[in-house]
Structure formats: structure tokens, C-alpha cells
Structure 1
Amino acid sequence: MIELLLVVVGAVLAGIVQTWTAIGTRSREAESVLTALAGEVGAICRLLRMLDYRTEIQKLFRQVEMGVHEEAIYYIDIKSDYFSVYHSLSSQLGLLKPAEVTKLVRFYSYCKTFVDATRPEGVSSEMQGRLKSVTNLRALTTLHDSILCLGDEIVQLTKSPSIPDGTRV
């Protein structure tokens, strides 16, 4: 009888240890996925700030608004895949909290929209007058700012967040 009780207690303890280990493993995997994605997001934000697209877009926006140009299109011919970490880890987004996933998906959607809007063959490639140019350039500036704001929030989600300039907290 005691042997049977020991077998049952041993099985229960083994189950508890196995469950505890699985929870720890999942937690570490989730942290790794979030850290990798936040690293890529931080790099994208640093690039956007370093390349200073906003200043150029604003300059062009002001020139069209003041009538220096009748219409204008802002092109960035991006050919590289700056979302390689996101593409490789997108199947593991289910490990993350819903609020984290929402921010990540919005960030990458905004980035893809920014890329599409600035391609030479993109949605804005055929302007039709000053008003449309002003509207599109204003939207591009807002989208740029939204990307940076959301990106900074995502970077702060990690346990040891990186500040946008690359220094550690």
C-alpha cells in the first residue's frame, strides 16, 4: 500500500516539475521572441532618425504648401528587407501577450505602409495637384511620427529596454 502511495506521489511530483519546467521554458521563449523583435524595431527607429526622413518630408511639405512647387512626391527606393526578424518569428507571436502582439503588428503595418507610400511605383507615385500633394505629405509625416512613437513603446516592453539612441537603461 505504501509503495502504491509513493508511486502516486512520485507521479504527481513529476507532473508538477514537468509543468513548472514547461511554463519556465515558454516564458523564456516569449521573452526571447519579444527581445529579438524589440531589437529589430529599435534598429528601424534608429535608422529612421539617423536618415532624418521627417525633415526632408516636412521641407517638401512646406514648399508645396507655400506654392514653391505645384505638386511633389517623396520617394525612398527601399529594396532591402528590414523586417527579417519579424518575418522569421511571426509564427511565434502567440507566445506574447495580446497587447504586445497588437503593438508589433501595428508597427510593422505602419512601416510597410510607409515603404509602399514612398516607392517610386507606390500609391503616391502619381500626384494630382497641390492639394493631394499636401495631403499625402502630411499623412507621410504623421505615419513617420506614429512609427517612431510606437517603436519606442515596443522597445520599452523588454526587461532591459534599449533607449532609442542605443544606450542601455
Structure 2
Amino acid sequence: MKKNDKGITMLSLVVMLVVLMMLATITMYYGNSAMKEAKLQDLKTNMLLIQAAVKGDLEKYHFETSNLSDSEKISKKSQYLKGIPIENAESNIKVKFDALANNTEIQLKTQISDDYQQVGGKFDYYYLDTNTLSQLGLKDVQSNDENGYYIVAYSMNPNYSNIVEVINTKGYLGNYSLKRIEAL
């Protein structure tokens, strides 16, 4: 083999470049995998924090309203259930939630009802804006279009007073509810 002025043969230079390209490709693949895993863990952690923050309020609501009439229960919801009822949320948030809830592939409300059959499909959906999350002590959790909006499904069945499902409108790989994301 003919050497260049610096003493490296052409063949060894080509082999070295191929090896470096393979190492770069492998590093990029594992780096991307690590980034995806970090995003999943971040989303899961945020959803678990939200669930823990609102679950106690739901239990208090069911305890306080166990002997009240339906109209009195409705008036107590605003006191205990955190967030904005989804029907009162901004139109862009309602559109995103309805798209998930009515999408033929996703059918979010059906998924949640299937995951929690014992509740009997009795859920109230509330949107958590960034201010509400801050009041819950979750200042670093953002509920916006970029990160996805957080919606909480509160169990309205008094026999299952501790069931809270957290939904993110952005989701992860087609999974939007905490129960489905935890299964990944």
C-alpha cells in the first residue's frame, strides 16, 4: 500500500472513517432512545404528581357529600374538585379533548371506562391550567399546547372515591391516560 505523507495508508483511513461513522450512528440511536425514555418518564412523573395532588380532594368531596342531595353535591364540586370543568374550558382545549374522546381509534372516554369498569363510567372531566397546577404545588408542570393540556377524570361513584385518571392531550405514542402510559 502506498502511504501518504503522514504515514497512514488509504485503506486504514477508509476503515477508520467507517468505524467512526458506525460509532456515531450507534451513539445517535441510543441518544435518541434515551431522550424518548426521559420524555416518557417526565410525562409519567408529572401525571403521578397531579394524581397525588388531586386524589385527596376527591376523597374529601365524597366524604363530605355522602349524605347530601344531588343539588348540594353539585355546589360542593367547585370547592373540592380542582380545575375548570371541561365544558367551561377554553374552546381550543375542548376541541383537543373532544378530538381524543371521539376519535375512532383512541376513544379516550371508552378507554377510561374500560380501565375502570367498576366505576360505571361516572367521571367528571376537569382541565388543569398552569395556575391551578401552581396552587397544587406543581409550579414546574406546564399545561399548554406545547407540552399537552392536563385533564383530570374524577370518579363520581361514591363507592370508588379514590379513582382519579390523569390525561395529557399530547400523550406518548398514542397513549393519553396515566394508566395506559404506566403500562408502557
Q: What is the TM-score with the length of structure 1 in the denominator?
A: 0.46
Bigger relative CO (Cα 8 Å, ≥ 6 apart): 1
Task: Name whichever structure is richer in helix by fraction.
Answer: 1
